[in-house]
Chain A
C-alpha cells in the first residue's frame, strides 16, 4: 500500500498563512465526452510559516475509486486528458479554477508526479502545474503492446507513490548594485583615505640594513682589487 501522506518538498514561502488548506480536484477529460465535474482528489495541508512551511497532500477517500473509474472511461479514447485543478477559494465555478492537464495514457507508466503551486506576492495560491513522469521527450503516448488486453486496463491507473509538492513564490527583479557613496566625516567632508607611503617610507629599514651591512663589511683585500682591474683591462 502506498503512504497516504506523500513525501514532500518544501520551499521558501514567507507569507503563506499557517495551517491553511487547499483542495485539489481531478477529472478525466476528452472532447467527445460530456464535461464531467471535477472530483476531489486531495487536500493540500500547509503548516508552518516562513521558510518552514510544509505542504502535505492528504488524499481523499475516493481517490483510488476515481482513478479506477477514469481508467475505465479512458479505455479506447485517444488523447484523453487527466486534469488536475486547484479550487478557487472564492469561486465555486469550476471553469474558473486553475487547471493543468497531462495525457491520460502516461498515467499507467508513471512512477512519479509533481505539483507546483504558484503563490502570488501575498502568499496566496493562484495556479497549479502538474506533471507525471517519466514522459517521453516527444510527449507521445506509449505504444500498447500486443499482450495488453482490455481486461487488464482498469488496473492500469494506479495511484502514484512518489508525489512531490512544491510551493513557488514569485521572484522580485534584481536591484541594480549601485556604487557606494564615499564615506564622510562628522563634518560632512569626505574621508580622505590615508596616503600611501612612499617607497623610502616603506622600505627604509632594508636600506638601512644594507647600508649598515656595507659599512661594516670587511674591506676587500688589496690584491684582489688589483687583479680585477687587470682582468677588465684584458677584456678590452
Chain B
C-alpha cells in the first residue's frame, strides 16, 4: 500500500504544471465547414440588440461536423458553439431577435432554443422518438421552424416529420398544441410554415405521377384547428427548392403569396385563410430558376431568366413585380455564374447581393441591390474584391449584411464559404478575417522534423583573398569581448534552453524554419477532405503555408480529392529539406476514380515535382487510373519510395525513376502484403506476394498466397499495425534475474472485427480482436468481446509487444458490473521465462511464431474514449504511456505502470517491488492532473499522433478532429535534462572554491614537503 501511495506521489510529480499550460501546448477550436446544401442550415448573419442599445452581429452556421456555431462578425473569433451528438444531426436552425432555434435528429426529433449571443441552451424538447423519425431526402425536408409574428412572439411553430405541427412556448419550450395531418400515409409532405397574425399556413407537396402538386393547409394559431386544406392544381418538377411563400413584414396588410416555377413561368397564389383565390402568372420572360435568397419575409426573391440574367421580383399589394434586373448578369464565358444572397440592415431593410468571379480580371465582384433606396427606385452599388482563388478554391456560398450610413451609400459585409472549407469576411474590398474551417476535417497528418538553424555565413567565403580574410577576421574580433562576457555569464548562470518554455518563433518571421534545441518544433502537414494541404507550425498552431489540390483533367467536370495516406519521403537526416507525399483518390463528378499523388516540400509547400507554381493550385501525378487498394512506404537503400496497389493488384511505385524501381525489385521477394478483400460484410484478410517477373503491362502483379476469412458473423472494422519505432530492449528482466523476451514479430497486424453493417442489430453479435501474422495469416491472438446492441466500439493500439484495447461491456456477470474496460495484453516469446526465440528475425513460415505466452489484465476505465495511442520517443527507451481522447472532450494520459498486465493481485513481493510493479487495483485512477488538455475543450477528436522529439524523454502529441490540440509529454519525466531548479551558481561557486583551495594549499604543501626532506 505504501508503495502504491509512493507511486501515486510520483505520478503527481509528473503531472502537468500550471506554468506550462498554454505555453507548451496550444489549442485551435473550430466549428467545422458550414453545411451549404440547404437554406435552413447555411451561414447567415444575425444581429441582436444588447441591453445597452447597441447591437452586435454574429454569423450563425450549422456545420458538417454537426456543430451549431456563431462567429463574431468583427474578428471571426468563435462566439460560441454547441456540439451535437453524432446521431443527432442538425437539420435546420432559425433565428429571431435573441434566440436561435434548432431541429435535429431524424425527422426533427429534438428541438432546442439557444441564446444567440452567448450560446446558452435555454430549452430542449424531444418532439418524437428518434426511431420513429422519417428520414427524408434531403434531410431538412418535412421540417421547419417559424417564429410567431409581432403580437404572438412568445410562440414558435415547429413542423416535424412532414406532418406534425406544434406550437411551443419560446421561453420554456413547452408544447401548447399539436396538430398532426389526419392522413399520414398519404403522399403529402409538409415543409414550410408561414405565420400570419390570424392564420398559420402550412405548405406541402403531394407526389403525383411525374411531378408534385401544391398542398396547403391553414390553421388557427390559437387553437391549432384546421381552417381549410386542399390540393392546388400545379405541376412542380424540381421539388421544394423552387416553391416558397412570400410575405412582407414591412407591409403586413399585403396577403402572403405562394410562388413557384412551372414550365418557365413564375406562378403565384394569394393566400387567404379560406384558401379561395386564383393563381396569377408573372409575365415578361421565360425563367429558368427562381431562388429564395432569404428575404421571403421581406417579399423579395431572385428569378433567373433563360439567358442567365438575374431579376429581383417583389411582392406588392397588386401582385408580383419585377423591380430590377442585374446588368451584365447573363451567362458569359467572361465570368462565373452568379450567387445571390439576401440580407438586411439594422433598420430591417432588405438587400440582395450578387457575387461572381471575373475570369479575365481574376477578381471577385459583388453587386448589392437595395430596393428601398433612391426614393424607392432601387440602388445598386458594386465593388470588386481580391479573392484568392488559388488559396481558397471557389466561392460556394455568400451571406450578406448591409449598412446604409448615408443616402446613396451602401456598405456590404459578405461572409463567404469556399470550396476548401474557409469562411471569410469581406467588408467591401477588404478582407476582415478568414477561418480555415477545413482543418476540422483533417484526413491524414504527419509531423515532420525541421532542419537545424543555419549559422549566418558569408556566401562568398570561398572566393575571398587572404588579405580580405584577415581584414574580416580582425573586424569580427571586435565582438570578442562581448562574446567572452556572454559566454561567462551563460556558463555561470546556466540560462540554457528550457524544456518548459515555448518554442514559438519570435514576432519577426523572416528567419527560415528551423528546429529548437530539443526538437519540439516540427511542421504538421495535414490534408483535409476539402482538397487542401496545410503546413502548420507545431510551436503555436499557425498556418505556415497551404496548397489547394489541383484536379488535373477532372477540373473540366469537377470532382473531389480525398486524401488517403501521407508519407514522409525525405527527412532532414537525409540531408535536404524534408518532403511529404500525399496519396489521394480523385473522385471526378463523371464517376471516374483515380489515384493521384501530390509531392511537396514540407517546409514551404512547394511542389517537389516542380510542375506547379507556388501561387497556383498544386498539380499531382496520376499514378493509378483507378481506385487505390493500399499504399505503403518502402524504405530502401536508395531512399524512401511509395508503393501503391491498384484494384488489379498491380504494383506502382513512386517516384517512378530507375533507382526506386531497382530498389523495389531487390526487396520484392521479402514483401508480404496483407490486404482487406471481399465484398463489404464478408471482408477477409488475404496475404499477397509480388513475383519478380513483370506482366505484359510492365508492372508486377501481386498474387494471393493465403486467405483468412473471419466467422460469418464478423466483418473487418479496422486494421491497425505496430508503429515502426525503435525497440530499445528485447526483453524484460524480472526481479528474480530471469528474462521475459518480448514477442516482436515484425509482421504482426491487429484486426478488429464486428457484426457486418448490413446485418440486423442483435445482442448475440460479437466483436473480436485478432493479432495476425501478416506474412502467413497465422492467428496469434484471438479474443471475443461483447457488442452493445450489435455495435462494436472497440479501440485498440499495438506497440512493441503490448496490445491495449478499450471496449464497453454491458454484460452483468457474477461480481461484475457494466462499464468501460481497458485490457492490457503483453506477448512474450516462448512459454515461460528465459525462453528466447528471437521472434524479431524469425520467418513467418516457422512454427515458432506461434510460441507465445500472453499476459493480460483488465481494468475498469473511467469513461468511453474516442481514440487511443501510445507515446513514441526517438530511441524507445522511455516508458510508453497511453494517450486517450475521452468522451469529455479531453486528452488524457494513462501511465504505463497502471496498465501493466503483470501487476500482482496481492501485495508485491520484494522481487516484484524491484520491478516497480504496484498492486493490482481494478479501477484505473481518473487523474485530472493527467488531463493534458487541462481546461480546453478538445472536441470530437478522431486521431492522436505522437512523434518523437530530439530529447529521448519527450514525446510530441498532436490530436485532431474538430479541434486541433498539440502538447508534449514526458512519461518518465525529463530525465535527460537538468531540472529547472538545478542550482548552477552553487555548483560553479563550489568548484571555484575548491580551485581556490587547491591554489592556496598547493604551495603550502610543497613547502612542507621541502622542509620535511631538508630536516629528515
Question: Which residues of A approach B to under 8 Å, CB–CB?
Answer: 29, 31-32, 79, 81, 83, 88, 90, 95-103, 106, 114, 116, 118, 120-122, 124, 126-127, 129, 131, 133, 135-140, 168, 170-180
A-B contact pairs, 23 of them (CB 8 A): A32-B691, A32-B693, A79-B669, A90-B712, A100-B777, A101-B687, A101-B776, A122-B711, A124-B711, A127-B777, A133-B846, A135-B845, A137-B842, A137-B846, A172-B783, A173-B821, A173-B856, A173-B858, A174-B823, A175-B813, A175-B816, A176-B816, A178-B815
Residues of B within 8 A of A171 (CB): 781-784
Residues of A within 8 A of B838 (CB): 137
- Tell me the complex Cα distance, A215–B505, Å: 90
A90, A97, A121 pick with most chain B CB within 10 angstroms? A121
Which of B86-94, B97-105, B699-707 has 4 or more CB atoms under 8 Å from chain A? B699-707
Q: How far is the CB of A181 from chain B (nearest CB, A)?
A: 9
**B844, A139: Cβ atoms under 8 Å?**
yes
Cβ 8 A contact of A126, one of B711, B785, B856, B923: B711
- Tell me the complex Cα distance, A29–B712, Å: 26
Residues of A within 8 A of B858 (CB): 173-176
**B711, A120: Cβ atoms under 8 Å?**
yes
- Tell me the complex Cα distance, A135–B841, Å: 13
Q: Does B922 contact A (CB under 8 A)?
A: yes
How many A-B contacts are there with CB distance less than 8 Å? 133
The 5 A-B residue pairs whose C-beta atoms are closest, nearest first, are A139-B843, A120-B711, A176-B922, A131-B847, A139-B845
Within 8 A of A (CB), among B145-182: none
Contacts A127-B779, A177-B905 given; indicate if A138 touches B843 (C-beta within 8 A).
Answer: yes
Q: Does B545 contact A (CB under 8 A)?
A: no
Q: How far is the CB of A187 from chain B (nearest CB, A)?
A: 23
Residues of B within 8 A of A100 (CB): 706, 776-778
**A176, B860: Cβ atoms under 8 Å?**
yes
Q: How far is the CB of A124 from chain B (nearest CB, A)?
A: 7
- Tell me the complex Cα distance, A173–B857, Å: 8
Residues of A within 8 A of B776 (CB): 100-101, 129
B781, B843, B846, B920 pick with most chain A CB within 10 angstroms? B846
Residues of B within 8 A of A98 (CB): 707-709
- Tell me the complex Cα distance, A31–B701, Å: 10
**A127, B843: Cβ atoms under 8 Å?**
no
Q: Does B45 contact A (CB under 8 A)?
A: no
Besides the known contacts A172-B783, A178-B816, 9 further A-B residue pairs in the complex with CB atoms under 8 A apart: A90-B712, A100-B778, A127-B708, A135-B843, A137-B843, A171-B784, A173-B807, A174-B858, A176-B858
Residues of A within 8 A of B859 (CB): 176
Residues of A within 8 A of B766 (CB): 121
Q: How far is the CB of B868 from chain A (nearest CB, A)?
A: 16
Contacts A133-B847, A135-B847 given; indicate if A95 touches B922 (C-beta within 8 A).
Answer: no
**B821, A176: Cβ atoms under 8 Å?**
yes
Cβ 8 A contact of A97, one of B707, B845, B920: B707
**A174, B708: Cβ atoms under 8 Å?**
no
Residues of B within 8 A of A103 (CB): 845
Q: How far is the CB of A59 from chain B (nearest CB, A)?
A: 21
Contacts A81-B705, A136-B843 given; indicate if A129 touches B905 (C-beta within 8 A).
Answer: no
**A180, B705: Cβ atoms under 8 Å?**
no
Residues of B within 8 A of A136 (CB): 843, 846
**A127, B709: Cβ atoms under 8 Å?**
yes
Q: Which partner residue on chain B sits nearest A164 by CB separation?
A: B847
Q: Does B768 contact A (CB under 8 A)?
A: yes
Q: How far is the CB of B501 from chain A (nearest CB, A)?
A: 41
Residues of B within 8 A of A131 (CB): 845-847, 850
**B845, A95: Cβ atoms under 8 Å?**
no
- Tell me the complex Cα distance, A138–B849, Å: 12
Residues of B within 8 A of A101 (CB): 687, 705-706, 776
Residues of B within 8 A of A180 (CB): 815
- Tell me the complex Cα distance, A101–B672, Å: 13
Q: Does B817 contact A (CB under 8 A)?
A: yes
**A173, B823: Cβ atoms under 8 Å?**
yes
- Tell me the complex Cα distance, A23–B301, Å: 73
**B846, A31: Cβ atoms under 8 Å?**
no
Q: How far is the CB of B274 from chain A (nearest CB, A)?
A: 66
Residues of A within 8 A of B708 (CB): 98, 127
- Tell me the complex Cα distance, A51–B670, Å: 40
Residues of B within 8 A of A121 (CB): 711, 766, 784
**A129, B785: Cβ atoms under 8 Å?**
no
Q: How far is the CB of A46 from chain B (nearest CB, A)?
A: 17
Within 8 A of A (CB), among B795-830: 807, 813, 815-817, 821, 823
Cβ 8 A contact of B785, one of A127, A168, A173, A179: A173
Q: Does B710 contact A (CB under 8 A)?
A: yes
**A170, B821: Cβ atoms under 8 Å?**
no
Contacts A137-B841, A173-B823, A174-B857 given; indicate if A129 touches B922 (C-beta within 8 A).
Answer: no
**B922, A178: Cβ atoms under 8 Å?**
yes
Contacts A118-B782, A172-B784, A175-B813 given; indicate if A129 touches B777 (C-beta within 8 A).
Answer: yes
Residues of A within 8 A of B704 (CB): 99
Residues of A within 8 A of B846 (CB): 131, 133, 135-137, 139
Residues of A within 8 A of B843 (CB): 135-140
B703, B768, B859 pick with most chain A CB within 10 angstroms? B703
Cβ 8 A contact of A31, one of B703, B783, B817: B703
Q: How far is the CB of B478 from chain A (nearest CB, A)?
A: 65
Q: How far is the CB of A174 from chain B (nearest CB, A)?
A: 5
Residues of A within 8 A of B713 (CB): 120
**B709, A126: Cβ atoms under 8 Å?**
yes
Residues of A within 8 A of B710 (CB): 126-127
Residues of B within 8 A of A133 (CB): 846-847
Residues of B within 8 A of A116 (CB): 778-779, 850
Q: How far is the CB of B558 from chain A (nearest CB, A)?
A: 38
Residues of B within 8 A of A174 (CB): 823, 856-858
Q: Which partner residue on chain B sits nearest A86 by CB separation?
A: B709
Residues of B within 8 A of A139 (CB): 843-846
- Tell me the complex Cα distance, A137–B708, Å: 24
- Tell me the complex Cα distance, A113–B483, Å: 75
Residues of B within 8 A of A129 (CB): 776-779, 850
Contacts A95-B707, A127-B708 given; indicate if A173 touches B845 (C-beta within 8 A).
Answer: no
Residues of A within 8 A of B712 (CB): 90, 126
A32, A103, A106, A139 pick with most chain B CB within 10 angstroms? A139
Residues of B within 8 A of A175 (CB): 813, 816, 858
Residues of A within 8 A of B689 (CB): 79
Residues of A within 8 A of B860 (CB): 176, 178
Residues of A within 8 A of B711 (CB): 120-122, 124, 126
Within 8 A of A (CB), among B825-876: 838, 841-847, 850, 856-860
Q: How far is the CB of A231 from chain B (nearest CB, A)?
A: 48
Residues of B within 8 A of A179 (CB): 922
- Tell me the complex Cα distance, A102–B775, Å: 11
Residues of B within 8 A of A138 (CB): 841, 843
Q: Which partner residue on chain B sits nearest A179 by CB separation?
A: B922
**A106, B922: Cβ atoms under 8 Å?**
no
Q: How far is the CB of A110 from chain B (nearest CB, A)?
A: 11
**A170, B857: Cβ atoms under 8 Å?**
no
Cβ 8 A contact of A170, one of B768, B815, B817, B905: B768
Residues of A within 8 A of B705 (CB): 29, 81, 83, 99, 101
- Tell me the complex Cα distance, A171–B770, Å: 11
- Tell me the complex Cα distance, A133–B850, Å: 13
Q: Mark B549-564, 1 if CB is under 8 A from A, else 0.
A: 0000000000000000
- Tell me the complex Cα distance, A103–B706, Å: 12
Q: Which partner residue on chain A sits nearest B707 by CB separation?
A: A99
**A97, B709: Cβ atoms under 8 Å?**
yes
Q: Which partner residue on chain A sits nearest B921 by CB separation?
A: A179
Residues of A within 8 A of B923 (CB): 176
- Tell me the complex Cα distance, A120–B709, Å: 11
- Tell me the complex Cα distance, A114–B846, Å: 11
Cβ 8 A contact of B782, one of A31, A88, A96, A170: A170
Contacts A100-B777, A178-B815 given; indicate if A114 touches B847 (C-beta within 8 A).
Answer: yes
